[in-house]
Amino acid sequence: MTEQSFLSVRGIRKSFGPVKVLHGVDLDLPRGSVTALLGENGAGKSTFVRILAGDHQPDAGTIAIEGVETSFRTVVQSRDAGIRLIAQEIADAPTLSVAENIALGALPSRFGFVDRHAMREVARKALDALGADIAVDAPVSSLRLGERQIIEIARATAGASQCLIFDEPTAALSDAETRRLFTLIKRMQEAGVAILYITHRLDEVFAIADRVCVLRDGKVSLNAAIAEVDQAQVVTAMVGHAVASDHYRYEFVSKGADPLLEVAQLGSEHFEDVDLTVEPGEIVGLYGKIGSGVPEFAAALFGAGQFDSGTLRLGGEAVKFGHPAEAIAKGIGYLPADRASEGLLRTRTVAENLAAPSWTRLANGPFVAPGIEANTFKKWHSVLKVRSRPDGSEQISTLSGGNQQKVLLGRWLEAGSKLLVLVEPTRGVDVGARQEIYAVLRDLAQQGHGILIASSDYEDITEAATSAAVMVRGRVVAHLTQDQISTERLTQAAGGGAHA
C-alpha cells in the first residue's frame, strides 16, 4: 500500500527535554486518501503534525516526499513541498481584512506592490469553495470564532497543496459549516490531495476517513483501513484498554420535590422565552450549536451574563444576580465553556484552584491557614479521581484537560453548590476522562444535586442527561424526555430550525 504514498515517515522520534513525546512513529499518506489521526490528549498528535509542518524538528527518523527523503527545517520548506497545516489554534491577524488573511504568506504582487485585486479574487474563490458567505473586505476581528476557523481553512486550501493536515477543524464550526468542510475535503481527496485529519470525534472518522491511525504514548497503536475496524477497536487503541460504554443509565424519577431552578420566559439579546426547570437529582441537558444562545443563557443564570426579561427562581425565590458572587452565595456552581480564559488560575496550585470559591468559609477571619487548602483538596482527590499529587501542590497548568476539568468541578462541590451549571463540561477532555466526568455527574445527581449541562456536544447530553432541551437561535425548539434522547433526535432538532 505504500508504493504510491505522497508522504511517508519512518521512525520519527521527538523529546522535549526529559519528556519523550514520540518514540518511533511510522505513517504513510497516500494521494487521494483521508487518514484520520486519533489519540488522547498527550499522545503526541500535535507534536507529530508540527514536525510534518516543519515547526518542530524530529530527533530521529525520516520524512520522504514521493519516495525522496527530505527534511523540513522551517515551515516554509514544508509548505514549498506542498504540505499545509490547519492548526487548531487560530493564528490570524485580527486587524487585517479577510482577503489579506487568506493571502497571508503568499500575497500576490505586481512590481513589488501588493496586487489587491488579485488578492481579493484568490480569497473569494477560496471562500466559495467552502461555501462560506463572508465578505472579503471585513476585518477578521469582526468575525465569530467559526468563521475565523473557516478563514484558516481557506488560507490553507487557497494555494496548490499536495497534502493538507487538519487539526480538529470542526471544534468551532456549526453543523452546516462542518458539512461543507466535509464536502471540500472529499473534493480535495478526489483531486489527489493526501489528507491527514486529526479529531476527537469518532463519528467524523467514520464519516470521512478511509484510513485510521491511532497514537498512544507516542507510538502508533492502530493503523488500519477504516473498513477493517469498528468504533470499539479504535477506542481501545486510544486508551489502551476497553472503555465500558455500557451506557449506564441513571434514571431520574421526579419525586415532586420543589425545583431548584425555575426559569420562565427568560430573554436577552442572545435568547428569548426560555422555560426550564431543574429538580434535585435531575440532570437537564441543554443542547445547542454555536449561535444557539445556550452558553449565554447559562451565563445569565450565574450572573456572569445578563437577562432582560422573564423570571429566574432559585428554590422558589425570584433572583437576578449582578455578580457571580451573589449566585455562588445562593448555591449555584458554574463551569465556564473556556477553561483557559475563564476557568483556570494558571499560575496557582491545584489545591488553591479548587478552594478558591470557598476561601471565606475555610479562612479564619481574614487569614487562610497554611495547609488548609491542601487538606481540603485531599478530600476530593480520590472522589474525583484527579491525577495529581494528593495535596494538589503542583501548578494547575501541569494537569491534562480532563483533570483540570475535574478540579474546576470540585470547586463547586467544596463550595456546597446545590445547582451546577456546566457549560461544555467535556470540551478538550479525552475519551477516558469523559466517562469519569459523566460518572461523577450521575453520582452528584444521585446525592440530590441539580445539574444543568449546557453543551454543543451531543455526547454530553446522550450520556448524562435525564431530560433535554434543544435551542436554536436563542429559542427552545424541542423538549425531550430521557427515553427520547438520542443523537439523531438532538442533531435533527438542532439542525431543523437553524437552516430552515
Partner 1 sequence: MPEQAPTTMSNIDAGRVTSRAGRRLKAPEWGALLLFLLAEIVFFSFNSPYFLTWPNGVNIVTALSITGILAAGGTILLIAGQFDLSVGSGTAFVALSFALAAQSLGIIPAVGIALLVGVGIGVLNGFLVTVVGVNALITTLGTLAIFRGLTLSIGGASSVRVTGFDWAIARPFFDIPMSAIVFLLIALVVAVVLSRTIFGRTIYAIGANENAARLVGIRTKRTLFFAFVISGLCMAATGLVSASQLGSTSGTTGVGLELAVVTAIILGGTSLKGGTGSMFGTILGLLIVGVLNNGMTLMNINSTWQQVAAGMLLILAVSFDQIRQRFIRS
- The region of 1-9, 103-111, 174-182, 360-368 touching partner 1 under the rule CB under 8 A is 360-368
CB nearer to partner 1: give 257 or 325.
Answer: 325
- Residues from 150 through 169 that contact partner 1 (CB under 8 A): 167
**Contact (Cβ atoms closer than 8 angstroms) between residue 202 and residue 232:** no
Q: Taking Cα atoms as reference points, which of 464, 478, 487, 468 lies closest to residue 284?
A: 468
Tell me the three cell numbers of residue 357: 470559591
Please, which residue, 305 or 310, has the CB nearer to partner 1? 305
Applying CB under 8 A, the span of 59-67, 129-137, 365-373, 455-463 interacting with partner 1 comes to 365-373
Q: Does 336 bind partner 1 (CB under 8 A)?
A: yes
Distance CA 422, CA 431 (A): 18
Residue 115 vs residues 102, 103, 137, 160, 343: alpha-carbon distances, Å: 14, 11, 14, 19, 44
Query: Which of these ranges, 106-114, 156-164, 249-257, 358-366, lies near partner 1 under the rule CB under 8 A?
Result: 358-366
Q: In angstroms, give the least distance from the CB of 152 to partner 1.
A: 11
What torsion do the CA atoms of 379, 383, 389, 390 make, to the nearest 10 degrees? Answer: 30
Angstrom distances, CA of residue 417 to CA of 295, 343, 348:
20, 17, 23
207 binds partner 1 (CB under 8 A): no
Is residue 340 a contact residue for partner 1 (CB under 8 A)? yes
CA dihedral 407, 434, 148, 90 (to 10 degrees): 60
What is the C-alpha to C-alpha distance for residues 161 and 201, in angstroms, rounded to an integer? Answer: 25
With binding defined as CB under 8 A, does residue 73 bind partner 1?
no
Q: Which of 8, 88, 292, 435 binds partner 1 (CB under 8 A)?
A: 88
First and final C-alpha spacing in the chain: 44
| 427 belongs to the binding site for partner 1 (CB under 8 A) | yes
Candidates 124, 201, 330, 348; binder of partner 1 (CB under 8 A) is: 348
Question: What is the smallest separation between the CB atom of 402 and partner 1, expressed in angstroms?
Answer: 9
Task: Write the interaction track for partner 1 spanning residues 294-333; mark x where CB under 8 A is met and - where it is not.
Answer: --------x-x------------------xxx--xx----
10 binds partner 1 (CB under 8 A): no
Residues 189 and 217: their CA atoms lie apart, in Å, by 29
114 binds partner 1 (CB under 8 A): no
Do the Cβ atoms of 310 and 474 come closer than 8 Å?
no
DSSP lists the bridge partners of residue 107 as none
What does the DSSP 8-state code read for residue 94? T
Contact between 85 and partner 1 by CB under 8 A: the answer reads no
Positions in the binding site for partner 1 (CB under 8 A): 16-19, 21, 41-47, 50, 88-91, 145, 167, 172, 302, 304, 323-325, 328-329, 334, 336, 338-348, 352, 356-357, 359-360, 363, 366-370, 394-395, 397-398, 400-401, 411, 427-429
